[in-house]
Amino acid sequence: MRTMIPTSFSSRFQGVISMNALRCYVSEFISTFFFVLAAVGSVMSSRKLMAGDVSGPFGVLIPAIANAFALSSSVYISWNVSGGHVNPAVTFGMAVAGRISVPTAMFYWTSQMIASVMACLVLKVTVVEQHVPIYKIAGEMTGFGASVLEGVLAFVLVYTVFTANDPRRGLPLAVGPIFIGFVAGANVLAAGPFSGGSMNPACAFGSAMVYGSFKNQAVYWVGPLLGGATAALVYDNVVVPAEDDRGSSTGDAIGV
């Protein structure tokens, strides 16, 4: 028994740092970088187009469209490499469901967080007349209420990811990312004026890091992570229980 523990640990560690795993981390970095650049950049763009007044409908519509298009594209380009997570809440849900290992999830998180910070830094350096926007809670909402709302939004998003990633549905490769983008855009339209409609802890972290304020940052971590984990458990154990002959999903590519 004593000789099996180091062997198991070594095997698991080698799987996390294998060449295939490194490709997945790079893929997550690239796709998350692109998504955050478009999502945060769209807010800056709408602010520019509307002379700083983003309280009108276009202040929500433009970011919602950008989120939908950017997330669809970002998920698609990494779909067959890393599973197209682009979001720590999705990664957390996959880990809770046992589709990837915890060490792998931690490396995914690291790639996503670094990519988000880098994307926001690019925006800060290139758009010198504006500061990088951060997610804020509306005055009529409490921190708890915003966290619950972000959790519900993340539940819907991660549930859609699990549905699109289910090989039993037989969906073409390009269809799943489109629906994931659609639900993200709809969530921003529904909750953007209240909690910001982040659903993505990495995106919220990157903009907060570059802006220099972590106020209410817990809202954008606790809610989405719990929502993502709940969605994973509900999908895999209640709505669509796993079958014995179920094939491996794309997200299982580097599970160790």
| Chain segment 196-229, per-residue pLDDT in tens | 999 999 999 999 999 998 989 999 999 999 999 9
The domains located in the chain, with CATH, are 17-239 (1.20.1080.10)
Q: Which residue has the higher pLDDT, 84 or 240?
A: 84
- 48-86 burial, b for 16+ CB within 10 Å, e for fewer? eeeeeebeeeebbebbbebbbbbbbbbbbbbbebbbbbb
Residue 248 pLDDT level (bands cut at 50, 70, 90): very low
Residue 3 Ramachandran class (φ > 0 left, ψ -120 to 50 alpha, else beta) = alpha
Distance between CA atoms of 181 and 197, rounded to whole angstroms? Answer: 13
User: How many whole angstroms separate alpha carbon 1 and alpha carbon 230?
Assistant: 35
Distance of CA 153 to the CA centre of its chain: 12
Confidence of residue 53 (pLDDT cuts 50, 70, 90): low
C-alpha closest to that of 63 among 80, 81, 44: 44
DSSP string, 179-215: HHHHHHHHHHHHHHHHH-----HHHHHHHHHHHT--T
Report how far apart, in Å, the C-alpha atoms of 139 and of each of 146, 185, 193, 197 are. 11, 23, 10, 15
Q: How confident is the model at residue 241 (pLDDT cuts 50, 70, 90)?
A: confident
State the pLDDT at residue 1. Answer: 39
Q: Which amino acid is at 45?
A: S
pLDDT digits (tens, 9 = 90+) for 157-184: 999 999 998 887 776 777 899 999 999 9
pLDDT for residue 58: 78
Confidence of residue 46 (pLDDT cuts 50, 70, 90): confident
Confidence of residue 11 (pLDDT cuts 50, 70, 90): low
pLDDT score recorded for residue 50:
77
DSSP tag of 138: -
